[in-house]
Structure 1
Amino acid sequence: MSVSRTLVAAALVCAGLALPATASAERSELPASTPAGPFADVIKSVVTIDAPLPEEVGPVPAACQQLRYLRYRRDGGPADPQQADAVLVIMPGTLAGAGSLEMHALQVVQNAADRGRSVEYWALDRRGNCIEDRTGLDAGLAANDPKIALDYYYRGLQVGGRTFGGIQKTGQLGYVADFDLRQVTEDYRAVITEGLPDPEFRRSRTFCGGHSLGGALTGLLMAWDFDNDPATRDDAGYDLCAGSIALDSSVALTPETAAAGAGAQIAKAIVGQTVRSVRNAVAANIIPRTFDFGVIGPETMLLLEGIGLNAQLNPDTDAAPLVAATPPTPAVDGAMRLLQSRTWQDAVARTPRLRRQHLSGEALLGAFMDDNSQPLSFIKTSIGSYTGGALLPKVFPFTDGPLMFYPVEDAKPYGWAGHLEPQSTARRGDGRLYTTAASEVTDPQDLARVLHGAPLDFLEQYYSTMLTVDSVLAGAGSRDGDFARLRYTDAALGKPRLSVIAGDGLGQAKQPAGVPGVPSVVEVLPGYDHVDVITASPRQSSGQPERSAKATTDFVLDHTGRDPGPTPAADEAAASDPEVAAAVAQLDMR
């Protein structure tokens, strides 16, 4: 069964080789705080594992020689994860870090605890997060003053004797080109094997998964042949997992995998090149080594985290002074133009209109991320609506699609209603009355907190372009170089699968049927946007538990300890080699 070509688009939009980790690897674990709320039975820590990169990568920051993840577990439950009922190891999506998974993790662990079960949830951070400088954000949070963060990142303010060294440009980050698909897959495996050394526990009680691109990376992990020996199955990726979890994504590498259309044209252009030429272009920085395209790049991701910090500390205070104090760099003003212009005329105006407006801290966050304002589906959440002034429909950057709104009275203060109750909201403008139905699923304060969340945040500011390129090429069917290790492309179909699909997400409701007798659960969530699947509030307007976390908890507890089932077949392309086919025929493969 070959890898789906339609994974190409999903890899672009959803959006380190470590030595094999063992139980003896250097490891540290530090406690971290959990938010107030309904999570009394959950404790959180940051786990760090030494995992040096190969010498040929060259000099890298010391932090990039380690792997990190957030460990959530039941308070009073076993300290040894292999004594838990189950462990979930979850990979974030494109441009995302471990902190993006916090709300989902807290609820899954708490849901299990409410049922008397001990489940752990490990939210992974990829190596690219090692480059970020969190000093200003952490200092601003500690002092309850977001301006400290602004001054640290833009005005040379020293914090703890440290001065910000500036946004690192993609040309400075040669080593990031080595944070490719092979490295991420090896790191994924290293976290699992270091923390869960018992192979039987991994096969029966460890669930691998991810949000967005993280789901696709899980499918690639399960398909990977780590010893690169087609005659054996001693080190196959599918043995790391009892089952898989895809959060508005798909782990299945099959022709039925749905595409998310926004990146289709870019994906098609990349796939038209050879593996070597495209990868060489990234390594040489002809294609930027990090995802840095100005309006979406390290600086604007840092800006968004700062907006989250301000929304948490000053939810109802006019954010205009802070916006005015933000330097008009091409990246910052470009993001304001792209994401917060009502018309093309607004987008090309000398001064972005957002700089003339008076939005509260939460309203500014909503302007960038709520589905009534944000045009890019892979960033959208459903967190509320503007209050306090007239609104008009947005016609930039898209003239069709879902109706979105823009505040038009520049001198008037706008607030934000972060409601979680179904309602019909009237919005008057241009002489007409617009009505939108709202059933918000994410609390804006939860989103604000996890955006900048310490110690590991929501965003991966220096996301490796090579990871997306490799995912595209492997998803298009390439088996050149390291991609020859993708021998078990139907592996995910042979084990229990959960697919949680956002009704207003990336359009992946269709999932492959899989193997007869192997459970495949699909949970479609009407009204959820792509990000809501991992950020939704535990208190929903229906009065029922949040459905993404509930479906995940139910699936894991229902399938823990299940017979792992038959071994997946080798990749058809590899098995077409007569020697490989003969070896495969001697194995117990279906």
Structure 2
Amino acid sequence: MRMTRTRRLALPAAAAAALLALGVGVAVASADGPGERAAGPSAEREERSVPSGSPVTDVVETVVRVKLPLPEGVGARPAECDWLSYLRYRHEDGPEESASADRILVAQPGVLEGAGAFDAVARNTVAKAAEDGQNIEFWALDRRSNCLEDNRGVRAGAAARSFKVALDYYYNGGAVDGQKFAGYLGNDQVEFLQHVGLEQTLRDQFDLLAAELPDQELRKEKVMCGGHSLGGVLTGFFAIWDFDGNPATDADAGFNQCAGYFALDSAISTSLPDITGSQMMPTGMMPDPGLSFAVVQAGLRGGAVPRTLSAPAVINAETMNVLALAGLAALAAPDAQSTLVADLPSNLNIDGTTRLLLSKNLLAFVTGSPAAGEFKLSNEAALGALMDDNSQPLAFLQTSVGFFAGGRIADKEFPLARNVSGIPGLSGLAGMFGQEARAIPDEANGPVYAWRNYDEFGPTDGPVPNAGDGTPFTTAGKEVTDIQQLARSMAEQPLDFTEDYFPTKLVTDIQQSAATEISRNAIHQDGLTANPTITLLAGDGLRGANAPPPSGETVVAPGYQHLDVLTADARQNDGRPEPVSARLAQFAIRG
């Protein structure tokens, strides 16, 4: 099979260098709408352009920061954490002022997710609306906890087109702009996050909207509120939330800040199980749900309950950053042999993560033989091994970016077999681990495995290897995301694709939303159905059979995984427009 690349996108040198530039423009906005808590007489604001290697060239991206300090009682925190940030996307022919746009889509990210993950769907949606003569904007929100991330190394590596620059910063004592990496933060270093839960997250969205769009009636006319995964549930709570403490007034209510709602492989709901049909948080990573609200808060204060969502391997700040490093290597040198595993330090976290994600079976995991480093992969293939649905075992991290090429492939049977839904006692895990046949390179110390991109599954591209059941591991209809665009979103964005320090309190508050401390603000229950709703589901995503039917219009994207609703390419293999962004643009225009 001859592998052909239909396009290789490179970030222009001038644009790459500008990733490190800090030139900003400053504007001031007031927040004095009816019943609203103003951020002060004015909110300090910064906005700067974001250079991009995206093929969607008619969309302008900027990163916006607005100073909206946390309450004083929150305690010590970095100065950066008194700012809120978002990525703003608009068409190059559209108005410069957001208030003059036809509609504004405002998106909350999911668990362990940052604003950078929305890049493809934001660009595609804005461009599609422009084709229909409408100028819309897409705002991808960054949660306040993202202020704790140190992305200097990834940004410097992207600017230099060098994975080694980033690696040296995070692991070898290298400096960027005179700064050295201070290390990943421990539980005792993020104490203020014990106060950053549901109420603060919703308040942040409200205050940001009020600062950027002071006219409440304009917000009600033009803002469409939504999100991906957990972001749909956050939007549900936003819709019913009372922001002025006076139940008799509703100009301040969340539903009156929105003209409509959109859910991306999620649900506009106030229940986590409504997304998947079961609890989505892995057992052991959260406190016992039977504990009272007061006990959980005491645990957060004392540190007995971890203040960030973290596990000894796979899910923690370091591994989230390693994903960005893998994206950077694939972006900078896609076909070069990967040194990611060899270059990373040997520690319990890294070794445990590589074994969990890259072992063929239980024996390989237990013995460490063959080790992940014994397989030769291109940088693209290494990223695919970490993120593709035929390799990555965790469904909420899966995309459909292609398949391995250039060597023998075997069935990947660890950590769970493909048909987990048929195993007694484990059927509830199907939504967590996905249903795609998983594959793994099977020639240690053999050829350098390449990557077959999502659009290289045509009649002349050769057959796909068969899984153990005799069927091909994948088909063209199952592949929707360009691996180079995934790499770009993971490494090029000024706001991260992932969220290194997800605040535990955000999810415990949702799980305990019946507690008086939460329910006293969640009073406008009719807000959930007060506006038109669209639910855009991944056909092979997290939603299980037990999930309730979504309200409003429903769109299912066949073959999509959970992240594909954010990352899918504008040009699909079936020749039709990318369905999520196309329908989302229509919804934004028509409501």
**Scaled by the length of structure 1, what TM-score is found?**
0.86
Taking structure 1 as reference, are residues 44 and 326 closer, same or farther at Cα in structure 2, changes over 3 Å only? Answer: same
Query: How far apart in 2 are the matches of 1:116 and 1:125?
Result: 29
Query: How far apart in 1 are the matches of 2:308 and 2:234?
Result: 18
Deviation of 1:279 (Å):
2.4
Deviation of 1:473 (Å):
1.7
Amino acid in the other structure paired with 2:307: R
Q: Could you tell me whether the CA contact under 8 Å between 2:389 and 2:561 is conserved in 1?
A: yes
Matched, 1:382 2:417: no
Which whole-Å deviations, capped at 9, do the CAs of 1:445-499 have from their partners, x for residues lacking one?
011111123311201111111111112222xxx1321331001233122210010
RMSD of aligned Cα (Å): 2.3
Matched, 1:310 2:329: yes
Matched, 1:364 2:398: no
Matched, 1:353 2:371: yes
Deviation of 1:269 (Å):
6.6
Q: Could you tell me whether the CA contact under 8 Å between 2:411 and 2:468 is conserved in 1?
A: no
Amino acid in the other structure paired with 1:316: D
Which whole-Å deviations, capped at 9, do the CAs of 1:21-77 have from their partners, x for residues lacking one?
36821111111123341332x111111111111111112101000001111112132
Which whole-Å deviations, capped at 9, do the CAs of 1:559-589 have from their partners, x for residues lacking one?
2xxxxxxxxxxxxxxxxxxxxxxxxxxxxxx
Taking structure 1 as reference, are residues 258 and 304 closer, same or farther at Cα in structure 2, changes over 3 Å only? Answer: closer
Equivalent position SS for 2:440: strand
Deviation of 1:553 (Å):
0.2
Taking structure 1 as reference, are residues 148 and 223 closer, same or farther at Cα in structure 2, changes over 3 Å only? Answer: same
Matches within 5 A, 1:455-474: 455-474=494-513
Residue of structure 2 in register with 1:562 after alignment: none
Taking structure 1 as reference, are residues 435 and 470 closer, same or farther at Cα in structure 2, changes over 3 Å only? Answer: closer
Q: Could you tell me whether the CA contact under 8 Å between 1:25 and 1:50 is conserved in 2?
A: yes
Q: Could you tell me whether the CA contact under 8 Å between 1:270 and 1:469 is conserved in 2?
A: no
Residue of structure 2 in register with 1:220 after alignment: 237
Taking structure 1 as reference, are residues 395 and 417 closer, same or farther at Cα in structure 2, changes over 3 Å only? Answer: same
Deviation of 1:171 (Å):
2.2
Taking structure 1 as reference, are residues 241 and 433 closer, same or farther at Cα in structure 2, changes over 3 Å only? Answer: closer
Residue of structure 2 in register with 1:276 after alignment: 294
Residue of structure 1 in register with 2:440 after alignment: 406
Query: How far apart in 1 are the matches of 2:64 and 2:126?
Result: 17
Matched, 1:299 2:335: no
Residue of structure 2 in register with 1:34 after alignment: 52
Residue of structure 1 in register with 2:157 after alignment: 140
Matches within 5 A, 1:44-443: 44-253=61-270, 257-261=274-278, 262-263=280-281, 270-295=288-313, 296-319=315-338, 321-350=339-368, 353-401=371-419, 402=435, 403-411=437-445, 412-420=447-455, 425-427=463-465, 436-439=474-477, 440-443=479-482
Deviation of 1:231 (Å):
3.1
Deviation of 1:144 (Å):
1.4
Q: Could you tell me whether the CA contact under 8 Å between 1:501 and 1:508 is conserved in 2?
A: no
Query: How far apart in 1 are the matches of 2:282 and 2:392?
Result: 20
Deviation of 1:172 (Å):
1.6
Query: How far apart in 1 are the matches of 2:465 and 2:138?
Result: 41
Amino acid in the other structure paired with 1:407: P
Amino acid in the other structure paired with 1:550: A
Residue of structure 1 in register with 2:573 after alignment: 541
Query: How far apart in 2 are the matches of 1:430 and 1:495?
Result: 48
Residue of structure 2 in register with 1:488 after alignment: 524
Amino acid in the other structure paired with 2:443: E
Query: How far apart in 2 are the matches of 1:46 and 1:419?
Result: 29
Deviation of 1:225 (Å):
0.8
Query: How far apart in 2 are the matches of 1:95 and 1:479?
Result: 25
Query: How far apart in 2 are the matches of 1:352 and 1:297?
Result: 25
Residue of structure 2 in register with 1:529 after alignment: 561
Query: How far apart in 2 are the matches of 1:502 and 1:212?
Result: 11
Q: Which stretch shifts more, 428-437 or 350-359?
A: 428-437
Q: Which stretch shifts more, 65-74 or 273-282?
A: 273-282
Q: Could you tell me whether the CA contact under 8 Å between 1:243 and 1:492 is conserved in 2?
A: no
Deviation of 1:339 (Å):
1.1
Q: Could you tell me whether the CA contact under 8 Å between 1:390 and 1:428 is conserved in 2?
A: no
Deviation of 1:233 (Å):
2.4
Residue of structure 1 in register with 2:422 after alignment: none
Q: Could you tell me whether the CA contact under 8 Å between 1:152 and 1:163 is conserved in 2?
A: yes
Query: How far apart in 1 are the matches of 2:342 and 2:211?
Result: 48
Query: How far apart in 1 are the matches of 2:180 and 2:316?
Result: 21
Taking structure 1 as reference, are residues 506 and 493 closer, same or farther at Cα in structure 2, changes over 3 Å only? Answer: same
Which whole-Å deviations, capped at 9, do the CAs of 1:502-534 have from their partners, x for residues lacking one?
0110116865575xxxxx110011100000000
> What is the percentage of aligned positions where both structures have the same residue?
39
Query: How far apart in 1 are the matches of 2:575 and 2:74?
Result: 52
Q: Which stretch shifts more, 498-507 or 249-258?
A: 249-258
Deviation of 1:431 (Å):
12
Which whole-Å deviations, capped at 9, do the CAs of 1:165-209 have from their partners, x for residues lacking one?
111112221012222111100001111111111111111211000
Q: Could you tell me whether the CA contact under 8 Å between 1:144 and 1:313 is conserved in 2?
A: yes
Taking structure 1 as reference, are residues 363 and 260 closer, same or farther at Cα in structure 2, changes over 3 Å only? Answer: farther
Taking structure 1 as reference, are residues 341 and 20 closer, same or farther at Cα in structure 2, changes over 3 Å only? Answer: farther
Q: Could you tell me whether the CA contact under 8 Å between 1:39 and 1:110 is conserved in 2?
A: no
Residue of structure 1 in register with 2:17 after alignment: none
The gaps in structure 2 that reach 5 residues or longer are 1-35, 420-434
Amino acid in the other structure paired with 1:381: T
Deviation of 1:340 (Å):
1.0
Taking structure 1 as reference, are residues 267 and 366 closer, same or farther at Cα in structure 2, changes over 3 Å only? Answer: closer
Which whole-Å deviations, capped at 9, do the CAs of 1:409-428 have from their partners, x for residues lacking one?
01221110013265684326
The gaps in structure 1 that reach 5 residues or longer are 1-17, 515-519, 560-590
Taking structure 1 as reference, are residues 364 and 54 closer, same or farther at Cα in structure 2, changes over 3 Å only? Answer: same
Deviation of 1:112 (Å):
1.2
Which whole-Å deviations, capped at 9, do the CAs of 1:531-551 have from their partners, x for residues lacking one?
000000001001111111111
Residue of structure 1 in register with 2:588 after alignment: 556
Taking structure 1 as reference, are residues 229 and 431 closer, same or farther at Cα in structure 2, changes over 3 Å only? Answer: closer
Taking structure 1 as reference, are residues 526 and 22 closer, same or farther at Cα in structure 2, changes over 3 Å only? Answer: farther
Deviation of 1:354 (Å):
1.1
Taking structure 1 as reference, are residues 357 and 513 closer, same or farther at Cα in structure 2, changes over 3 Å only? Answer: closer
Residue of structure 1 in register with 2:540 after alignment: 504
Amino acid in the other structure paired with 1:242: A
Deviation of 1:116 (Å):
1.6
Query: How far apart in 1 are the matches of 2:114 and 2:508?
Result: 19
Equivalent position SS for 1:121: strand
Query: How far apart in 2 are the matches of 1:150 and 1:61?
Result: 24
Q: Could you tell me whether the CA contact under 8 Å between 1:185 and 1:221 is conserved in 2?
A: yes
